[in-house]
Amino acid sequence: MCDGYVLEWLDTLVTVTLNPEKSKVNIAVPGDIAEITDQVISQKDKVQTAIKSTVFNLNDEAKIRCLIKKYHSSLITLLDQALEDLSLMKESLPVRQVLDTIIACIDELLTLIEHRFISYLSVEERVPATYLAVLKKELVKRLSAVDKRLLDYEAYHPTFQTLKQELEKFLTQPPDKHTYIFQEILYIKDLVLELERLEPVDEAAVYSRLDELLINMNFNSKPYIYRLTQRLAASTNDLEQPGEKMDRLLFYLKLLKQYHKKPGIIFNRKDADLHKQVSNWFTQEVFYLEKQIHYSIVPLKGVETPKKVVQKEKTKLLSILSVDQMALILRAADDLKVVMARSLNSVFKNIVPYLSTPYQENISYDSMRSKSYSAEMRDKEIVIETLQQMIKRINEY
């Protein structure tokens, strides 16, 4: 492993020799430019070797982390100074050429650390100005390429345009308004990479593959979440009956909860994650529909109940349990021989036609029987809680 301060030569060159505020810079001979350029590249290779040796020759993780952080912070400081030197040397083309080489070499060293040894860095570190400027340009170019690839898939356009505008808006914030850190930039780099890997298809599903990707990446942009919830609402509002709307909403919520979310990542760190915001929207919509259904079943005081409703109440029992929950109870009753029939199918066939729920008046006995074999944990918990309340009430008799 290289000993000592391996950045010493580059440090002196940038902070003193080429700093017009500290020395008189005069490089005009082409031979001098070539010699300094070669030496800069040689020093860059030396630093690369030192960085790699730090990782591969040390066994102490704490020491590796400390040294990598020192290299990283020192290179950022040198890069900033080199950029400042470049801004002051507006008339000397030879000096600017040398500084351009230095900036490129420092950027290469930073890229090495950020790509291969990012686990040793703090994601809260500030992103170097040059690297950020190059990265912004690269990401905008890659987003445009993805945009062209999606031209043939109209269903993707509104969502992707919202995504593209949000990313470009985020990447073009002025330095005095926002300081970019690695956590933010790494998130966008990963998101763009996933977009490039996306294989679009012609589909009519409410959640497209692009939506699945953004849900997976926790893209909690407010414009995107608004667009997504408005699309869900439009799909639900196509239905007339509140019960049908409720079924569709709950199905969409179930799909959302089944989509995997990468842990520890988020687009906007100042806002709640996407799952929480969209789930809150579902909660409000479901609550509103429950009220609608309730008032359609239990008329307001003073309002006469239509005769056909009275007839339905005479022929069917209304249960507050869902179809899935009632299916569990009937299956358990058959298993314990609380009710006797030739088969489980016969149990459902003879009982289900006389049952209804606030969300579903006509229940398929065959569908309920099928659901009894694929119960969700939440349904089991509700059924158990209901039975416990019944036991408590029986003990009070």
pTM of the model: 0.58
Query: 97 pLDDT exceeds 50?
Result: yes
| Residue 310 belongs to a domain | no
Q: What is the pLDDT of residue 27?
A: 59
- Which one is predicted more confidently, 131 or 352? 352
Residue 311 has pLDDT above 60, yes or no: no
Q: Is there a single domain that holds both residue 147 and residue 116?
A: no
Identify whether residues 262 and 384 lie together within a single domain. Answer: no
Reply yes or no on whether the pLDDT at 360 is more than 50.
yes
Tell whether the torsion through CA atoms of 126, 129, 130 and 135 is positive or negative.
positive
- Are 155 and 22 in a shared domain? no
Asked whether residue 283 falls in the same domain as residue 345, the answer is no
Q: What is the 3-state secondary structure (H, E, C) of 303-345?
A: CCCCHHHHHHHHHCEECCCCHHHHHHHHHHHHHCCCCCCCCHH
Residue 78 domain-assigned? yes
Any domain includes 279: yes
User: What is the pLDDT confidence band of residue 278, given thresholds at 50, 70 and 90?
Assistant: very high
- Residue 306 included in any domain: no
Q: With bands split at pLDDT 50, 70 and 90, how would you rate the model's confidence at 376?
A: confident
Query: Which residues on adjacent β-strands are paired with residue 318?
Result: 356
Average pLDDT of the chain is: 85
Q: Name the nearest CA neighbour of 81 among 16, 9, 178, 126.
A: 16
Domain contains 126: no
Per-residue pLDDT at 312: 43
Res 314 pLDDT > 50: no
DSSP assignment letter at 22: T
266 lies in the same domain as 388 = no
Residue 85 and residue 158 share a domain:
no
For residues 42 and 155, membership in a common domain is answered with: no
**115 and 140, same domain (yes or no):** no
Whether 311 is covered by a domain: the verdict is no
Domain co-membership, 211 together with 243: yes
79 residue type, one letter: L
One domain for residues 107 and 157:
no
Domain enclosing residue 57, as ranges? 8-121
Q: How many domains does the chain have?
A: 3
User: What is the mean pLDDT of the segment spanning 322-337?
Assistant: 88
Contacts of 221 (CB under 8 A, 6+ apart): 162, 163, 166, 267, 268
Q: In terms of domains, do 82 and 220 share one? A: no
Q: Does 1 fall in a domain? A: no
Q: Does 307 reside within a domain?
A: no
Q: Are residues 226 and 260 in the same domain?
A: yes
Residue 390 reports pLDDT greater than 80: yes
Domain final residue pick, 78, 99, 121: 121
